Structures are given as C-alpha cells and as structure tokens.
Amino acid sequence: MLAGSLGALLLMFFSWQLGIILLTFGTIFAIVIRAAGQPTKLVSSPPRSAYAKVAFETTVTASVPLVLNVLVFALLTNPEAVAFRMLLSVLGVLQPLLGFLRTRLLVSRSPSLIAALSSASLAALLCIVVAHLLGLFTFVLGSAWGQVSTATLVAACLWKVASIPPTVPFSELRRGGYLDALLRLRILTSILFITAGTVSLWLVHSLFGTFVALCITEAVCAVIYFVVAARVSDRSQQKDPL
C-alpha cells in the first residue's frame, strides 16, 4: 500500500490519471495480500443481527467525514476547502498505524502495543509539523497549502492525537460483544461531530476553528467511551462475580 501510494504520488506529476490507476491497484493488491492470510472458516458463525449492527455502526461512522466534507465545501471558500482536503490527506499518514492498532486490539488488549503505536503516531505528527515549518508541503503541494497556518496544523494534529485513546474502550466493547451499547455510542458521537463541525463552520468560517471544534469533540467522545466501557464492565462483574 505504501509503495503504491508513493508511486502514485510520483506519477501525479506527469499524469493524474495514471496516479489514480496505480493507487487503485495498490489498494486492491494490499487487500488481497491481507485477506490471503485470514481463515476462510469460522469456528462459530455470529448471528446475522450482529453483522447488521456492525454494518450499520460502520455506515454511521463513515457518514461523518462525508458530511463534514460537504459542509466544508459549502461554507468555506474554495482555497480553504482544498486546503482542508490536503490537510486530511497529509494526516492520513497515521491511518496505517491507527488501523493496525484497532485491528490488533479487537483480538486482545496489549498495553505495550498501545504505547508503541501511540509513540509512533506522535512522532509522525511531529515530523509533519517540522516538515510544514521547513516549507516542504508548500514546495510539494504548491500555493494551496498556504491556507494552512501552523496553528491550524497543530490543531489538526491534536485532533488526531485525541482520536487514539477512544480506540481502547471501543475495542473492549466490540471484543466483549456489546454491540448495542457500541451502536448507541457511535450514533451519539457521530451526531456530536456533525453538530460541532456545522456550528464551527457556520460561526467561525475558518479551518482553525473547525479543527479546534473537532479536537474538543474528540476529547469529549473519549471521555464518553471510557465512562460507558467502565459501566458495562462493572455490570458484567456484578452479573458474574466469579
């Protein structure tokens, strides 16, 4: 996936069509490799209702960035909207780390892995800030990056940092099979994100204000996740004291 992304980036300088094609095939190839090592049969198949809940929960969560993008392009200027997309693309460097962390924690809790990948994520964000201060993104991405101030980039990085802690209680709830509680949480947090994004864009009309609102909302959602996970754990222990 990384090789395909880098190759696509280089091809973009010559032909964006070829870059998109290479990125598409790189993504498909990565999915095939990952799927090849997975078991094809399950010991016990979960009920269909569980699949439906997980699918609906995923759909609700995936709707948040879609709605935010629509709001950004509707309420901000074109240069700011393009800068918003560029900034999200740059922050996407964390997705492999965060994705692996979520996937691994769904199997079992691993404090050492949480600490290692959290540290790696912080180091990656620090490198992004340094690259911005050195003008690397302006050189590569052009004048469109000029809409991204240092304060905006730091706020966006803090938002990504705040998204790491909720991974722990989320994985515990999913691993424990508490799909109903998790579905309600996903709906609630999605509403909070869309509301925060709408209000900040409507009132502040700036990228900085938007990312600050998202960062605060992420922190609030993290608290909610930990509180709900703790309550669910307490109830489980009360039902089964042994």
Task: State the Cα–Cα distance between residues 106 and 103, nearest whole angstrom.
Answer: 5
pLDDT at 96: 80
Angle (nearest 5°) at CA 50 between 44 and 56: 145
Residue 224 to residues 56, 165, 201: CA-CA distances in angstroms?
20, 11, 24
pLDDT tops 80 at residue 40: no
Coil, strand or helix at 119: helix
More confident residue, 144 or 150: 150
Q: Is the pLDDT of residue 119 over 70?
A: yes
Instruction: For the chain, give the mean pLDDT.
Output: 83
| Mean predicted confidence (pLDDT) in 35-63 | 71
Task: Confirm if 148 and 129 have CB atoms less than 8 A apart.
Answer: no
**For 134, phi and psi rounded to 5 degrees?**
-80, -5
Give the pLDDT mean for 38-46. 53
Per-residue pLDDT of 66-81, as tens digits, reads 999 999 999 888 889 9
Residue 242: the pLDDT is 45
Cβ atoms of 172 and 229 within 8 Å: the answer is yes
pLDDT of residue 133: 93
pLDDT at 103: 83
Compute the Cα dihedral for 115, 118, 173, 221 and give only its sign: positive
Who has greater pLDDT, 191 or 46? Answer: 191
Tens-digit pLDDT profile for residues 168-224: 999 888 888 888 889 999 999 999 999 999 999 999 888 999 999 999 999 999 999
Percent above pLDDT 90 for the chain: 32
The answer to whether residues 85 and 69 touch, using CB atoms and an 8 Å cutoff, is yes
- What is the per-residue pLDDT across 79-93, written as a single tens digit (0 to 9) for each? 899 999 889 988 888
Residue 72 per-residue DSSP state:
H
CA distance 180 to 52: 11
Cβ 169 vs Cβ 228: under 8 Å: yes
Q: Can you list the alpha helix ranges (DSSP code H) found in the chain? A: 2-12, 16-36, 48-75, 78-91, 95-105, 111-133, 136-141, 150-162, 167-176, 179-203, 207-239
Which is more confidently placed, 173 or 29? 173
